[in-house]
């Protein structure tokens, strides 16, 4: 049914709310990728098979607490069950949905204290969060536009199209202080203002959903859990700058996100919320979902635009900036998923409300994908200015295994590594920049004392060097040379001169590369050199990996008390480094050993280990 006016939108919202309220209880099954991989679809089917009167069971996007999935939440009771299996469903139905009691064995329990938390709002992982961009994720069925409308969906678009002029929309976003959540933190309102003022009858808006950072999944979860918020934010951006066409550029490796965005666009068109004269206004707008091939460099604005145009995804020099000359040579703004999902909240609740969250220079919230050696992995959203310590030891539950915190790698390949002494650093654009890191898209990898920081730098340099488009010499050749030196260091073949050269090249690449990929690629190297230089020196001078990780500084040894003298290891060794008589303990010549591990694999008695 078409929605042709604000009154009709409100009527639809009331009807959908009544339909949802008719369900006295609602079972929300997380169908984020992690939960799906562990049987969430089967769990949903089991709930639907055990149907109970006035109880609805539906899929949702990611609930955020990936560590304890699959998750099931029961509304309005706020009861959450973790690590749910299909065979648990019958018990949940009988105990909770029929008798109104809690299945104690399925509630979340603190690993240290054993305290039980049946309600989501009480779980420490959720209690310290402030949901804005993620407010609907895990709360609605992403495939049902009615549920989005019931939660005031598209009311912000109605205000932008019917109550405000394009300039007033720009001013509202400008007043909010919203900064781009894709990495750079450029003020969103200023970007819109530049495009609004640019000359040209045809303008475009583009959603950058090409999330390619290792360990980052914020944008994917928003698209999978609340796709209409992205569409609404993009439409508001189009209204602000005077565009009637938009593109959502999402990598093809996100099949669920692609499917849900396409479905959301179809539903919005069917309801008249995309297309001509939206809500009876003079504003018309439609979108195209463009699937990318997964090139990390296409996260850079101009490379992304080139890919949409059918060209190879390579950046171009700026100026001209996309706001003046972007897609197909027309004025264009590019915002990432989280930025656009935040816009409807600002238009509905006001710029002043948004500024009550976060810091003065970084208002609002930011989502982070917390992974690595931390107890509670998952997706979190916190006010800007929340400290790293609060995220790691509060929401994250601390480092696993009783080990000591060593560093946090923040911002993905473009970010930096922050040591223990910077745990109280506020997570906002300015504070992280001072520390040599950046917010980036929001990847946050927690590293413990067993991590080699030189190897971390090598890992990220390998990623960025592989993903470099090769267009400019500093990035193409500089990242290659940096990787070569890092590989020499972890292999125990480097000198202190190599360390000096590594640092010099890093600064050259940072200052002279064409695009943000090259300019930020040295960040992991520069921050590890700044905060963990002793580990580099240990590799080079002492021929030792302080974390005991790098295999170049290890040797395979045969434990004589376990060795049976069978000779299998000697036969498997390709470098003839093992000697010994049958039925007597063998020995390895370290000078000949290639450290391939063939001997350890051949040993049936566990007598060989790398030490």
Task: Tell me how many domains the chain contains.
Answer: 5
Residue 80 and residue 157 in one domain: no
From 401, 426, 448, the end of a domain falls on 448
d(CA 427, CA 429): 7
Q: Are 251 and 342 part of one and the same domain? A: yes
Judgement on whether residues 168 and 298 belong to the same structural domain of the protein: yes
Do 468 and 408 share a structural domain? no
pLDDT at 216: 81
DSSP for 247-258? EEEEETT-HHHH
Residues 323, 407, single domain; the answer is no
439-464 pLDDT, tens digit per residue, is 887 889 999 999 999 999 999 999 99
Amino acid 53: pLDDT: 83
In a domain, 135, yes or no: no
Kindly state whether residues 171 and 288 are assigned to the same domain: yes
> For position 84, what pLDDT does the model report?
97
Same domain flag for 298 and 427: no
Q: Rg of the Cα trace of the chain?
A: 27
List residues bridging with 81 in a β-sheet.
72
User: What pLDDT is recorded for position 114?
Assistant: 87
What pLDDT does 439 receive? 86
Place of tokens 């060989």: 608
| Residues of the chain falling short of pLDDT 70 | none
Distance CA 89, CA 216 (A): 31
Task: Check residue 424 and give its pLDDT.
Answer: 95
Per-residue burial over 558-588, b = 16 or more CB atoms within 10 Å of its CB, e = otherwise: beeeebebbbbbbebbeeebbebeeeeebeb
Asked whether residue 442 falls in the same domain as residue 503, the answer is no
pTM (two decimals): 0.91
Contact 368, 427 (CB under 8 A): yes
Domain match, 402 and 253 both = no
Torsion-angle region of 314 (φ positive above 0: left; ψ -120 to 50: alpha; else: beta): beta
- Distance in angstroms between the alpha carbons of the first and the last residue of the chain: 69
Domain that holds residue 416: 365-448
Q: What is the pLDDT of residues 87-120, one digit of tens each?
A: 999 999 999 999 999 999 999 998 888 899 999 9
CA dist list (Å): 291 to 209, 225, 258, 463:
9, 19, 8, 22
Residue 244 domain-assigned? yes
| Domain assignment present for 210 | yes
Q: What is the pLDDT of residue 76?
A: 93
CATH number of the domain residue 528 falls in: 1.20.1440.230
One domain, residues 164 and 287: yes
CATH number of residue 83's parent domain? 3.40.30.10
Q: Are residues 525 and 576 in the same domain?
A: no
Count of other CB atoms within 10 angstroms of residue 131 = 18
Residues 173 and 283 in one domain: yes
Query: What angle in degrees, to the nearest 10, is found between the helix axes of 188-197 and 227-241?
Result: 40
Report the alpha-carbon distance of residue 393 to residue 199 in Å, rounded. Answer: 50
């Amino acid at each position: 049914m078409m929605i042709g006016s604000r009154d009709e939108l409100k009527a639809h919202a009331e009807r959908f709310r009544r339909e949802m309220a008719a369900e006295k209880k609602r079972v929300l099954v997380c169908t984020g990728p992690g939960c799906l991989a562990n049987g969430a679809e089967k769990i949903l089917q089991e709930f639907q098979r055990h149907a109970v009167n006035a109880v609805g069971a539906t899929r949702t996007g990611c609930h955020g607490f990936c560590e304890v999935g699959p998750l099931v939440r029961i509304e309005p009771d706020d009861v959450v069950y973790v690590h749910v299996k299909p065979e648990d469903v019958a018990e949940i139905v009988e105990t909770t949905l029929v008798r109104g009691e809690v299945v104690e064995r399925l509630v979340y329990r603190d690993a240290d204290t054993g305290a039980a938390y049946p309600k989501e709002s009480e779980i420490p992982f959720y209690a310290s969060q402030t949901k804005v961009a993620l407010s609907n994720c895990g709360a609605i069925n992403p495939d049902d536009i009615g549920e989005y409308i019931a939660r005031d969906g598209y009311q912000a678009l109605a205000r932008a199209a019917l109550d405000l002029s394009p300039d007033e929309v720009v001013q509202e976003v400008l007043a909010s202080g919203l900064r781009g959540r894709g990495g750079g933190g450029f003020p969103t309102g200023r970007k819109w203002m530049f495009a609004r003022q640019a000359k040209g009858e045809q303008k475009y808006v583009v959603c950058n959903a090409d999330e390619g950072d290792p360990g980052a999944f914020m944008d994917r979860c928003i698209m999978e859990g609340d796709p209409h918020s992205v569409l609404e934010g993009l439409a508001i951006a189009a209204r602000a700058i005077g565009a009637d066409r938009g593109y959502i550029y999402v990598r093809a490796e996100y099949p669920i996100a692609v499917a849900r965005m396409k479905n959301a666009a179809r539903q919005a068109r069917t309801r008249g919320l995309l297309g001509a004269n939206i809500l009876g206004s003079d504003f018309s707008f439609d979108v195209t979902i463009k699937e990318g091939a997964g090139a990390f460099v296409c996260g850079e604005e101009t490379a992304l635009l080139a890919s949409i145009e059918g060209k190879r995804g390579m950046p171009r020099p700026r100026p001209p900036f996309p706001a003046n000359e972007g897609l197909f040579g027309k004025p264009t703004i590019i915002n990432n998923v989280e930025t656009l999902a935040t816009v409807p909240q600002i238009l509905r609740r006001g710029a002043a409300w948004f500024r009550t969250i976060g810091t003065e220079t970084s208002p609002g919230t930011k989502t982070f994908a917390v992974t690595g050696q931390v107890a509670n992995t998952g997706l979190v959203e916190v006010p800007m200015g929340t400290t790293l310590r609060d995220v790691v030891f509060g929401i994250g539950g601390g480092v696993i295994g009783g080990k000591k915190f060593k560093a946090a790698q923040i911002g993905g390949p473009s970010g930096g590594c922050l040591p223990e002494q910077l745990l109280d650093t506020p997570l906002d654009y300015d504070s992280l920049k001072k520390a040599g890191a950046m917010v980036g898209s929001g990847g946050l990898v927690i590293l413990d004392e067993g991590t080699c920081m030189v190897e971390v730098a090598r890992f990220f340099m390998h990623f960025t060097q592989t993903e470099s488009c090769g267009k400019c010499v500093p990035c193409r050749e500089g990242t290659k040379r940096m990787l070569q030196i890092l590989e020499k260091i972890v292999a125990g073949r480097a000198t202190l001169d190599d360390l000096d050269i590594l640092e010099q090249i890093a600064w050259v690449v940072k200052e002279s590369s064409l695009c943000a990929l090259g300019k930020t690629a040295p960040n992991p190297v520069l921050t590890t050199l700044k905060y963990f230089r002793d580990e580099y020196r240990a590799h080079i001078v002492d021929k030792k990996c302080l974390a005991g990780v790098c295999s170049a500084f290890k040797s395979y040894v045969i434990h004589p008390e376990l060795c049976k003298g069978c000779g299998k290891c000697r036969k498997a060794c390709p470098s003839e480094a093992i000697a010994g008589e049958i039925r007597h303990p063998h020995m390895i010549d370290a000078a000949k050993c290639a450290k391939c591990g063939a001997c350890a694999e051949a040993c049936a008695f566990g007598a060989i280990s790398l030490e």
